[in-house]
């Protein structure tokens, strides 16, 4: 199998299970036109996030890493009218584009985008009384993933769902000697997640239009 095959199958799945959607298509196009990196989740992965949030019956969601707001839109659509999604973004340009995309999707009343380094804004969120979150999605700079996991645990409760994207890195995650800081960040995250007694977790390898990667999913099983 090749990248061409993976992309074709992703297109086939998307055509079957993801209906054409002006707001989502616009979010992707706006981000591409602005030169944002093409690091958003694929459409079928976005649908998966929506389904997981619906299964979770999430009312509060924390997203670490907004980019152009594509995954934010998917997640926000799972929320009830009185739900809340806080998304953290370090890049002012990305945050501006995401806010525009979210407004175009009619979701501004549900979404609060916080500008700043997540490791700076997470302590602020902890003091504001928003936690615990029902679902936390980690998809930001990979060297900081171990710290994001620590904060996710602090801001969750028993029954919360923690999801992290890009945990396989085209298979590079098996290389303990890698000089890539993103690979090492993910390796440390994986080790911490596997050893964490407060969660039950697993990771799934994926192939598709975004290449060869994977995601982690964990349910918090203890409050302490």
Residue 224 pLDDT grade (very low, low, confident, very high; cuts 50, 70, 90): low
Cα–Cα distance, 76 to 61 (Å, whole number): 8
Q: How many CB atoms lie within 10 A of CB 190?
A: 21
pLDDT of 223 strictly over 90: no
**How many whole angstroms from its chain centre is CA 126?**
19
Could you tell me which CATH class the domain 3-220 is placed in? alpha beta
Quote the pTM value. Answer: 0.96
Cα–Cα distance, 207 to 212 (Å, whole number): 4
Taking each continuous run of H as one helix and of E as one strand, the counts in the chain are: 8, 7
Residue 113 pLDDT grade (very low, low, confident, very high; cuts 50, 70, 90): very high
């Amino acid at each position: 199998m090749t990248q061409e095959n993976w992309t074709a199958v992703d297109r086939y799945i998307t055509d079957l299970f993801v209906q054409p959607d002006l707001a989502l298509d616009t979010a992707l196009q706006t981000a591409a036109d602005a030169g944002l990196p093409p690091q958003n989740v694929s459409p079928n992965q976005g649908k998966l996030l929506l389904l997981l949030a619906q299964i979770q019956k999430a009312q509060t969601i924390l997203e670490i890493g907004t980019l152009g707001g594509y995954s934010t839109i998917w997640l926000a659509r799972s929320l009830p009218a009185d739900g809340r999604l806080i998304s953290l973004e370090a890049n002012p340009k990305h945050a501006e584009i995401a806010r525009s995309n979210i407004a175009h999707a009619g979701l501004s009343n549900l979404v609060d985008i916080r500008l700043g380094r997540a490791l700076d804004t997470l302590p602020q969120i902890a003091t504001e009384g928003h936690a615990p979150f029902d679902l936390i999605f980690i998809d930001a700079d990979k060297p900081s993933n171990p710290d994001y996991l620590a904060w996710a645990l602090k801001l969750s409760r028993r029954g919360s769902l923690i999801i992290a994207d890009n945990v396989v890195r085209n298979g590079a995650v098996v290389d303990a000697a890698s000089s890539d800081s993103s690979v090492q960040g993910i390796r440390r995250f994986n080790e911490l997640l596997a050893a964490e007694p407060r969660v039950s977790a697993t990771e799934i390898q994926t192939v598709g239009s975004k290449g060869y990667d994977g995601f982690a999913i964990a349910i918090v099983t203890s409050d302490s």
